[in-house]
Amino acid sequence: MTNKTVTRVELADAIVREVGLTRQESGDLLDRMLEMIGKSLEHENEVKLSRFGNFVVRKKAARSGRNPKTGVEAKISARRVVTFKPSPMLKSKVEETS
């Protein structure tokens, strides 16, 4: 089994094949959808896509860490991170293919 990265262009081409939109329309649709997801996450809203999964912004507190090469202690600042939790349907599809 080969691992392959699916690009934005390939997703837009799949929309062309499956939905029948023009290449320009499918690219615009995909870009707009990704932009809307990004803006929702910027405002710390959870994004739920049924049968796919949830994107959630989590706050991580500041902590001290260690440089693995040198062993020198370093401060890791507080930050927000995006996490993804797949739906049970997506999990089962992935498990079927392994």
17-41 residue pLDDT tens: 999 899 999 999 999 999 999 999 9
Q: What is the pTM of this model?
A: 0.78
What is the count of structural domains for the chain?
Answer: 2
* Percent of the residues in the chain that have a pLDDT greater than 90, as a whole number: 90
Same domain, 50 and 98: yes
Strands 63-66 and 53-60: unpaired
Distance CA(55)–CA(34), nearest Å, equals 12
Pair 53, 97 in one domain: yes
Q: At 31, which amino acid appears?
A: D
Please give the distance of CA 72 from its chain centroid, rounded to a whole number.
Answer: 32
Q: Which domain holds residue 11?
A: 1-36
49 and 24 in a common domain: no
Do 54 and 98 fall into the same domain? yes
